């Protein structure tokens, strides 16, 4: 008898295969350091959205490990697995490389279209690659911690680069472990 594959495994493997392939190409072309691969591991986690509740999402494994102190989440129930949408937004994956594409695709898959739209606008405006990468990690961190996305939807969508940089510096002062993780990622991405 053929064993069935869980929906969350299909979702996770699709994203991971895409991200790993993209990372391999970037490494082979000298665009980033090989150590970036450790930051491109993905896993599942719970995100909380007001009005929706807790949803299962794909997130960076190193961020999950930093927050929860373990490498893998507890297994999903069959009922929870059945509720997972497999509607990956491939357009966002192709137009926004790497973790940025995964984050935006996950926002759309989880029906957070307004947040995805504001993030796209913000990330398109920000020219500094370092700043963009840090904003991506910080957004994921906030979503995983259940922090309301008001800053992402409202304040950052209107702020200029100087205000965004100041806001990011204040946020980095709040969590040195997260800052170290983001700084390491930026170094490996801009090798």
Residue 20's pLDDT is 96
Mean pLDDT along residues 142-149: 89
Q: Are strands 53-60 and 42-49 parallel, antiparallel or unpaired?
A: antiparallel
Nearby residues of 66 by Cβ (< 8 Å), 6 or more positions away: 177, 178, 181
Task: State the Cα–Cα distance between residues 144 and 86, nearest whole angstrom.
Answer: 20
| 15 falls within a domain | yes
Mean pLDDT along residues 110-136: 91
Per the structure, the count of domains in the chain is 1
| 2 falls within a domain | no
> Is residue 58 classed as helix, strand or coil in its secondary structure?
strand
Average predicted confidence (pLDDT) for the chain: 89
| 24 falls within a domain | yes
| 128 falls within a domain | yes
Instruction: Name which residue leads in pLDDT, 124 or 16.
Output: 16
Q: Say whether pLDDT at 92 is over 80.
A: yes
CB-based contact 182:138 (threshold 8 Å): yes
| 158 falls within a domain | yes
Residue 190's pLDDT is 79
Mean pLDDT along residues 102-123: 93
CA distances from 62 to 45, 65, 165 (A): 12, 5, 24
Q: Which domain holds residue 167?
A: 7-189
| 1 falls within a domain | no
Give residue 4's pLDDT band: very low, low, confident or very high (50, 70, 90): low
Give residue 191's pLDDT band: very low, low, confident or very high (50, 70, 90): low
């Amino acid at each position: 008898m053929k064993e069935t594959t869980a929906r969350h495994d299909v979702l996770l493997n699709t994203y991971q295969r895409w991200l790993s392939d993209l990372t391999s190409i970037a490494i082979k072309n000298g665009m980033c350091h090989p150590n970036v691969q450790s930051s491109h591991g993905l896993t599942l986690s719970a995100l909380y959205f007001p009005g929706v509740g807790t949803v299962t999402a794909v997130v960076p494994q190193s961020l999950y490990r930093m927050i929860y102190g373990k490498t893998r989440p507890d297994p999903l129930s069959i009922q929870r697995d059945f509720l997972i949408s497999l509607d990956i937004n491939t357009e966002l994956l192709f137009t926004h490389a790497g973790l940025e594409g995964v984050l935006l695709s996950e926002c759309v898959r989880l029906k957070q279209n307004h947040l995805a739209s504001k993030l796209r606008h913000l990330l398109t405006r920000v020219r500094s690659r370092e700043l963009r990468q840090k904003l991506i990690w910080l957004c994921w961190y906030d979503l995983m911690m259940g922090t309301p996305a008001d800053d992402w939807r409202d304040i950052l969508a209107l702020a200029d680069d100087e205000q965004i940089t100041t806001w990011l510096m204040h946020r980095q002062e709040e969590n040195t472990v997260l800052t170290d993780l983001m700084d390491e990622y930026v170094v490996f991405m801009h090798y």
